Amino acid sequence: MEALSRLMRRAIELGLLRGFWVGRDAVFQLEISHLMFADDTLVLCYVNMSQIRYLRCVLIWFQVVSGLKMNVGKSVLVPVREVPEIETFADILSCRTGSFPISYLGLPLGAPSRCVGIWDPVVDRFERRLAVAESCSVIFCEVVEVKSLSFIWCDGIKDGRRICFGEDVWCGDVPLALAFPQLYKIASDRQAMVVNCYYLDNRRLIWDVRFRRFFQDWEIEKAIRFLELLYRQRIMEEDSDCWSWVANSQGRFEMRSFFRCLSFDHRVRFPWKSVWRSKALLKVAFFVWTLVLGRILTHDNLRMRSQVVFNRCYMCLRDEESMDHLLIHCSLAR
């Protein structure tokens, strides 16, 4: 499919085909002419006889070059709005016509996303697969973490029957297995649920976490912090546990917050405008640019490049020469 993608891009560069521009900002606009996933291809083009003919030529060239044959029986030409010559275009491409909404990769395409009935086939498909997995007594789940944001258990444990004591995020920001790895290694049951690790004595919460041996002297302090963290938790047995979406203040999953998590850029951008568009001399701008990138040839950087030098600041003759020392901490550079 990479060969077909290259042919499509080459046809666009020559002006034979045109895609659609997406994006509001002119800087981040993107022209989309085709989308590919495995052996499924979605081609977008304008209603133009010449473009339809060129698209047919590209598909023929792909068959000749790759030796693959297109499945004409599954190919569908779907018009957007009213297209008078849709049947003529379908004859040129040797495919049938269709209309929105259509199913692409098992999901509805071209239908109102807020309509509940559109998603019924998707929900039914998931329910059937889960039913088959439950009948086999084994369920394989794939957990996808999106930029360190995921589902966590609600604040305040209900009954603890569905929460793994050591591996789920319910007590703090990380699992207890990561917060106290030394104690987790000596736990009697690493797969124990929260409900198996406590009991109530006259409505008083008592944690009963079992370990394979007694604590060593250097483990007592960690055990104290472990118990202090546990006794700050609340147990409410009147209801069952539930999930909470941390990217939303209400705890409910929303596509808006999920898209915000995907589109948010956590990387620190290089302030190139403040450097190169300033009124400073070019050599000063170049020096600041190398400083921000950490590429100044100080003694510590030269030693990292396998250069044999005596690492000492030649101005104060006291400390090692580094960028921080040379520009900030050196007594003669202040």
pLDDT digits (tens, 9 = 90+) for 91-101: 888 888 888 77
> In the predicted model, is pLDDT for residue 287 greater than 80?
yes
- Any domain includes 23: yes
Shared-domain flag, residues 297 and 231: no
> In the predicted model, is pLDDT for residue 43 greater than 70?
yes
Shared-domain flag, residues 231 and 285: no
Per-residue model confidence (pLDDT) at position 24: 67
Q: What percent of the chain has pLDDT over 70?
A: 79
pLDDT digits (tens, 9 = 90+) for 163-193: 888 888 888 778 888 889 888 889 988 888 8
Per-residue model confidence (pLDDT) at position 81: 79
pLDDT digits (tens, 9 = 90+) for 289-318: 888 888 888 888 888 777 778 888 888 888
pLDDT digits (tens, 9 = 90+) for 111-152: 666 666 777 777 777 777 766 544 443 333 333 333 334 444
For the beta carbon of residue 226, count every other beta carbon within 10 angstroms. Answer: 20
**Alpha helices, H only, 231-331:** 255-263, 272-276, 282-293, 299-304, 323-324
The residue from 241, 260, 283 where one domain ends is 241
Shared-domain flag, residues 11 and 95: yes
Average per-residue pLDDT in the chain?
77
Q: What percent of the chain has pLDDT over 90?
A: 0
Per-residue model confidence (pLDDT) at position 46: 82
Query: 6: which 2 tokens?
Result: 């290259």
Shared-domain flag, residues 7 and 81: yes
Higher-confidence residue of 65 and 97: namely: 97
Query: DSSP labels for 8-59?
Result: HHHHHHTTS---EEE-SSSTT-EEE-EEEETTEEEE---S-HHHHHHHHHHH
Shared-domain flag, residues 285 and 215: no
- Any domain includes 139: no
* Mean pLDDT, residues 7-17: 85
Per-residue model confidence (pLDDT) at position 26: 62
pLDDT digits (tens, 9 = 90+) for 246-286: 677 777 777 777 777 766 555 556 667 777 778 888 888 88
Helix (H) or strand (E) holding 227: helix 220-230
Query: 302: which 2 tokens?
Result: 């030269």
- Any domain includes 222: yes
CA angle 47, 53, 55 (to 5 degrees): 85
Shared-domain flag, residues 78 and 165: no
- Any domain includes 40: yes
Shared-domain flag, residues 225 and 291: no
C-alpha 276/C-alpha 205 separation (Å) is: 63
* Mean pLDDT, residues 28-56: 81
Q: Which residues span the domain enclosing 179?
A: 157-241
Shared-domain flag, residues 14 and 93: yes
> In the predicted model, is pLDDT for residue 220 greater than 50?
yes
- Any domain includes 108: no
- Any domain includes 320: yes
- Any domain includes 250: no
Shared-domain flag, residues 78 and 35: yes
What is the total count of domains within the chain? 3
